[in-house]
A and B are shown apart, each in its own frame.
Chain A
């Protein structure tokens, strides 16, 4: 184990290196660009042995990764924002074909209007594409989830691609001290990729075929079931990771000061750190507040949420997303758990940080006040101009 001062991108690249992908397809798009730059350097200096392919678009990046995965190779690619949207067809293709590719996505606003800063509208708009989606909080979790991502994706029970989401700029471009595991431990955690879902000369296969109405629904059901089964694999993977590396993340969600909390803020990604500090501050004032970080949005942690929110008075969902014409997508998902479980509590949605708008400590304090006083259900945080003009 060594320590290094790395950006989220660089930390992720270290995690990818330790996972030993055999094929990496790269296409540059900000803000993930430095991941592929670091990986290129690693291939150049022989710290990573991998086929590095310079494709000409994101569609091709993922199409290429699917082809390599169909030969039984461990594959990696990375994207962000418009790039993720451009590869949307291949997202469904990879998950439907059950190819366990791991991809990093730097969460960034989607055009129009153009904006290079971070929000989560890119990946949340692709929530239904059949990929496991995890949102990480800091550089260490980025590195660790590159490794865990392969372990989850390649589990025979799962065989589903994993998208690891890093908040653009806020996480991809800021530096932290990160522990880099040694290769021996990484190999102990992540064995070489084995799959039956591949073509080989000994056992020729026809893959990615058509399935008519007679059988199509069964394929889709199995895809869904694999995603549900992945919940168990995600928990087991995190436990195994903790045993080897001495740190874990709690699986699908990670709670903070949830015991006896009456008011809980639900978060995704890098904003969680600041929210945790505000929870500490409010707890010092005697306020019964807590925090629940959703790590995996697919599969959705409905059991975890139901268990955590059973005796809570109100919750708020803070997300960098809006599903135009309704509310935040995460909020809709959380409310479904509350309805299905007959929980009696108030729910609020805080739409914040769109297009990289700062979310301040005072904004978060105000969210907790809102949970206690009540008010509008869906709230845009920090709107600076009159929207009536």
Chain B
């Protein structure tokens, strides 16, 4: 097993700093950490979205590695061009990396992402998932979970927020038979960092789906971003897993879930949920875990 990246061994160099992200922003942490792992050879493509909005305001440009904003739908297609172009002009030791939000990935960008995976372009695509279009004011995306209140799925007497479950993008990506895909969370940075490191060494398309809460959109205090990310894993509404060589592997299998109600009701976006709604979410979680435990391999040492 190769040497693990830890808080002690990660570089002190910063590649994304001086930006205007909100206090407690999970997305900016995910991007910062990803670039620290990838280093100066990273050529990042970010679509129109939170991170480009906070980091690319001329003349205030916040990436010290090569970085470019793509069209909203065009993260993966521009990544393809960047990778091919870099190779064509003879650049060596680079990694083309996409850093896109949930809407830019699962909704408007899914066609281009699917195309890039289909071509098996040598790129790393990281989706930082804050579960809604946060940059534009908290509108529902395809990755907004059931029950969440957003500005386009208000909670009222009749409808209690978003009525559809979160799209399962990790498995949609895996279904392309991608060389490597993983889920991650900023609640477990060591796991996230090492998945980036692993993905960056694999030839072909790789994908990491990292949950990165948005305090504004989730309705949590700005100092609880990491804590809520951990609660989300502990209560079973997120899981750390990998897809490699055609196999799913669960990295962490909680023996017992922590309280889903506690996770939900500590966030403003779920405050309106009634017990019946929470039961629906718990049932969805349990059904998912039944399938996972039945079909996926597990990493025993991390139990």
Contacts and interface: CB of A to CB of B under 8 A. Distances in A.
Given A63-B71, A72-B85, 13 more contacts: A22-B88, A25-B80, A54-B119, A57-B111, A59-B112, A60-B112, A67-B85, A69-B81, A70-B85, A71-B85, A201-B94, A204-B63, A210-B57
B79 interface: yes
Interface in A38-87: 50-51, 53-57, 59-61, 63-73, 75
19 contacts: A22-B89, A25-B81, A51-B85, A53-B81, A54-B119, A59-B71, A59-B77, A61-B77, A63-B81, A63-B112, A71-B85, A72-B85, A72-B89, A90-B74, A93-B71, A200-B66, A206-B61, A209-B58, A210-B69
- The secondary structure that dominates the A interface is mixed
A89 B119 CA distance: 23
A71 B52 contact: no
A51 B87 contact: yes
A286 interface: no
A91 to B, nearest CB: 11
Contact of B84 (A53, A89, A204): A53
A226 to B, nearest CB: 18
A61 B111 CA distance: 12
Interface stretch (B38-46, B145-153, B269-277): B38-46
B40 A204 contact: yes
Nearest to B115: A56
Contact of B77 (A60, A208, A209): A60
Given A201-B66, A201-B93, A210 B81 contact: no
Interface residues of B, number: 46
B78 A66 contact: yes
A288 B71 CA distance: 52
Nearest to A219: B58
Contact of A68 (B65, B69, B82, B112): B82
Residue among A68, A206, A211 with the highest chain B CB neighbour number at 10 A: A206
Nearest to B46: A208
A56 B110 CA distance: 11
Residue among A57, A75, A204 with the highest chain B CB neighbour number at 10 A: A204
B14 interface: no
Contacts of B62: 206
Given A66-B81, A201-B40, A210 B56 contact: yes
A93 B73 CA distance: 12
A211 B66 CA distance: 18
Contact of B43 (A57, A63, A199): A199
Contact of A67 (B41, B70, B89): B70
A75 B94 CA distance: 20
B265 to A, nearest CB: 37
B81 A206 contact: no
Interface in A191-214: 199-201, 204-212
Nearest to B57: A210
B84 A23 contact: yes
Contact of A64 (B80, B86, B87): B80
Contacts of A66: 70, 74, 78, 81
A67 B87 CA distance: 12
Contacts of B81: 23, 25, 53, 63-71, 75
Contacts of A215: 58-59
A22 B67 contact: no
Contacts of A204: 40, 63-66
Interface residues of A, number: 41
B118 interface: yes
Residue among A64, A66, A211 with the highest chain B CB neighbour number at 10 A: A64
Nearest to A54: B119
Given A67-B80, A210-B52, A59 B88 contact: no
B57 A56 contact: no
A201 B85 contact: no
Given A55-B115, A63-B78, A208-B69, A23 B56 contact: no
Interface in B16-54: 40-41, 43, 45, 52-53
Contacts of A212: 57-58
A210 B77 contact: no
Given A67-B68, A201-B94, A209-B58, A56 B78 contact: no
Contacts of B80: 25, 53, 55, 60, 64, 67
A210 B53 contact: yes
A207 B70 contact: no
A224 to B, nearest CB: 18
A206 B17 CA distance: 13
A199 B63 CA distance: 12
Contact of B66 (A22, A23, A199): A199
B91 interface: yes
Contact of A89 (B71, B111, B112): B71
A205 B66 contact: yes
A-B CB proximity, top 8 nearest:
A67-B81, A71-B85, A68-B85, A56-B115, A60-B77, A63-B74, A64-B81, A22-B88
B298 interface: no
A25 B112 CA distance: 13
A201 B89 contact: no
Nearest to B54: A210
B76 to A, nearest CB: 8
Interface string B77-120: 11111111111110101100000000000000001101100110
A73 B84 contact: yes
Contacts of A50: 88
Nearest to A199: B66
A51 B84 contact: yes
Nearest to B59: A215
B20 to A, nearest CB: 11
B169 to A, nearest CB: 17
Contacts of A210: 52-53, 56-58, 69
Contacts of B111: 56-57, 60
